[in-house]
């Protein structure tokens, strides 16, 4: 049996049993972070805090929400909004956070692309991150069903119809997913379960994987410099804090992180209290009606770019390209053949153009996805969708030709 001695303090007692000193070093005080970073490195912590807000507000909403066809709409729009004290706060925090979390995810993603943070041993960070994006998308979609308004119902109808696979006509699969011919009680029940249990469990597991994937290769820095963390941390611990290229995760880096989080939270609560409307579609304040399609169905803003890739083509090609757009980002570490790990602007003209075109094209796709599919907007959407696909096909070729910087 392991040898235990009489504890000299509570901390010593715990230390003998849980090795809390070692854990604290590995996770915090001797988890080394490069100094050469900027505020964009705080987006991970911003996401953690936003997820925490979603969980806490979700717990309070869960206590009054009723997952039935008859009860769902009124439990949200009457019970929670009018009867429950501060019910509006939880709903607006939940809705705003669900929308803003995607804004931060996109910033986090494009930061990673810009600085090459998916390369040289950091591939698993990127892959686990993209799996988190998929899980968050599922969570957002299943949550959007729950108020059971017109947009909930018709988004549910349209998205589940995607699983018929176009000309494959897998209507049996669609009916299986819905548990009925159209979205109804079985549908609301299973999406409620997914939203409050299964998908959050997956998200929490993936967050663990995402953090674990970061611990060994360490976080990237502004110049993509390969840092000898052993040597630099030794320098730091030996007293040369100024000369070392690294700092402690806690409390040094955390203090800066939380500074950014603080600024973000001011912005976040400004939205919650004064501008929550953008996260609450007016059409969804009509109860679901299976015999009346809203005049114009569109997803929330964070899905618009991929929706716009689906829209301009016939159903089969549209579905194939939509599927392509959903999965292609995950392969980025393997499609980028360049030997360089540094800021996109310094990797030569080709990748510099690729990066900024990708970013601006996704903004164009997002804008076109929101507009009705008519006239010049259809044309712009079609061109933007083709450019998106072409850029990914071109990526391995232009990066393979890149010169070592």
Partner 1 sequence: MENSSRRGFMGKAFGAVAAVGAVGSLVAMKKTWDPLPSVKAAGFTTLDMSNYVEGVMVTEKWRGKPIFVLKKSAEVMEREKGNAAAEARNIKIGNDNFMVAIGLCTHLGCIPAFRKDTNDFLCACHGGMFDASGLVTQVPPPRGFDIPPFKIEGNTLVLGEVGPEWQAMKDNGVTL
Among 99-107, 264-272, 293-301, 385-393, the segment contacting partner 1 (CB under 8 A): 293-301
Please check whether residue 188 is in contact with residue 196, taking contact to mean a CB–CB distance below 8 angstroms: no
Cβ distance to partner 1 smaller for residue 290 or 339: 290
Give me the helices (H) in 179-274, please: 185-193, 199-215, 229-237, 254-274
Cβ distance to partner 1 smaller for residue 179 or 396: 179
- Burial class from Cβ neighbours inside 10 Å (0-12, 13-18, 19+) for residue 76 reads buried
Residues 164-223 contacting partner 1, CB under 8 A: 166-167, 169, 171, 175-182, 184, 186, 190
Residue 311 lies near partner 1 (rule: CB under 8 A): yes
Member of 82, 215, 296, 401 binding partner 1 (CB under 8 A): 296
Residue 287 lies near partner 1 (rule: CB under 8 A): no
Minimum distance of partner 1 from residue 208's CB (angstroms): 24
Minimum distance of partner 1 from residue 329's CB (angstroms): 24
Our measurement of the distance from residue 50's CA atom to the centroid of its chain's CA atoms, rounded to an integer in Å, reads: 11
Cβ distance to partner 1 smaller for residue 119 or 195: 195
The Cα 285–Cα 362 span in angstroms is 29
For the chain, give the number of residues: 405
Q: How far apart are the first and last CA of the chain?
A: 57
| Residues sharing a CB contact under 8 Å with residue 330, sequence separation 6 or more, in sequence order | 126, 127, 130, 131
Rg of the chain (C-alpha set):
24
Please check whether residue 296 is in contact with residue 372, taking contact to mean a CB–CB distance below 8 angstroms: yes
Residue 323 lies near partner 1 (rule: CB under 8 A): no
Member of 136, 154, 264, 355 binding partner 1 (CB under 8 A): 154
Residue 374 lies near partner 1 (rule: CB under 8 A): yes
Residue 258 lies near partner 1 (rule: CB under 8 A): no
Residue 138 lies near partner 1 (rule: CB under 8 A): no
Please check whether residue 341 is in contact with residue 120, taking contact to mean a CB–CB distance below 8 angstroms: yes
Cβ distance to partner 1 smaller for residue 189 or 396: 189
Task: Tell me which H or E stretch contains 247.
Answer: strand 246-248
Give me the helices (H) in 146-198, please: 150-161, 171-178, 185-193
Minimum distance of partner 1 from residue 372's CB (angstroms): 8
Residue 318 lies near partner 1 (rule: CB under 8 A): yes
Residue 376 lies near partner 1 (rule: CB under 8 A): no
Binding site for partner 1 (CB under 8 A): 154, 157-158, 161-162, 166-167, 169, 171, 175-182, 184, 186, 190, 290-297, 311, 313-316, 318, 372-374, 378
């Amino acid at each position: 049996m392991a040898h235990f001695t009489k504890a000299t303090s509570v901390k010593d007692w715990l230390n003998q049993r849980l090795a809390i000193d070692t854990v604290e070093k590995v996770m915090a005080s001797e988890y080394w972070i490069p100094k050469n970073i900027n505020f964009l490195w705080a987006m991970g912590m911003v996401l953690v805090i936003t997820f925490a807000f979603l969980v806490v507000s979700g717990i309070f909403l869960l206590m009054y929400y009723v997952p039935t066809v008859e009860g769902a709409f009124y439990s949200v729009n009457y019970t929670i909004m009018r009867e429950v004290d501060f019910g509006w706060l939880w709903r607006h925090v939940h809705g705003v956070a669900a929308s803003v979390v995607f804004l931060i995810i996109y910033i986090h993603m494009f930061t990673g692309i810009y600085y090459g943070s998916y390369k040289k041993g950091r591939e698993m960070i990127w892959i686990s991150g993209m799996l988190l994006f998929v899980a968050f998308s599922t969570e957002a979609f299943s949550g959007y069903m729950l108020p059971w308004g017109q947009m909930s119902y018709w988004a549910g109808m349209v998205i589940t119809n995607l699983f018929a696979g176009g000309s494959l006509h897998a209507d049996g699969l669609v009916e299986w997913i819905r548990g009925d011919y159209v979205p109804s009680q079985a549908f609301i029940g299973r999406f409620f379960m997914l939203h409050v249990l299964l998908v959050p469990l997956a998200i929490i597991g993936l967050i663990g994987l995402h953090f674990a994937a970061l611990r060994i290769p360490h976080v990237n820095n502004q110049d993509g410099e390969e840092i000898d963390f052993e040597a630099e941390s030794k320098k730091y611990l030996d007293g040369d804090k100024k000369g070392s290229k690294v700092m402690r995760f806690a409390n040094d880096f955390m203090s800066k992180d939380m500074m950014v989080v603080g600024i973000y939270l001011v912005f976040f609560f400004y939205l919650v209290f004064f501008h929550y409307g953008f996260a609450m579609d007016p059409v969804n304040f009509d109860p679901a009606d299976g015999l009346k399609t809203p005049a114009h169905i569109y997803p929330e803003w964070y899905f618009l770019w991929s929706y716009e890739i689906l829209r301009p083509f016939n159903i089969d090609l549209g579905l194939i390209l939509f599927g392509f757009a959903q999965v292609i980002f995950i392969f980025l570490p393997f499609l980028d053949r360049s030997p360089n790990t540094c800021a996109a602007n310094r990797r030569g003209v080709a990748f510099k153009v690729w990066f900024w075109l990708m970013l601006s094209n996704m903004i164009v796709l997002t804008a076109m996805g929101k507009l009705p599919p008519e006239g010049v907007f259809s044309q712009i959407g079609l061109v933007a969708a083709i450019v998106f696909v072409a850029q990914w096909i071109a990526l391995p070729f232009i990066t393979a030709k890149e010169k070592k910087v």
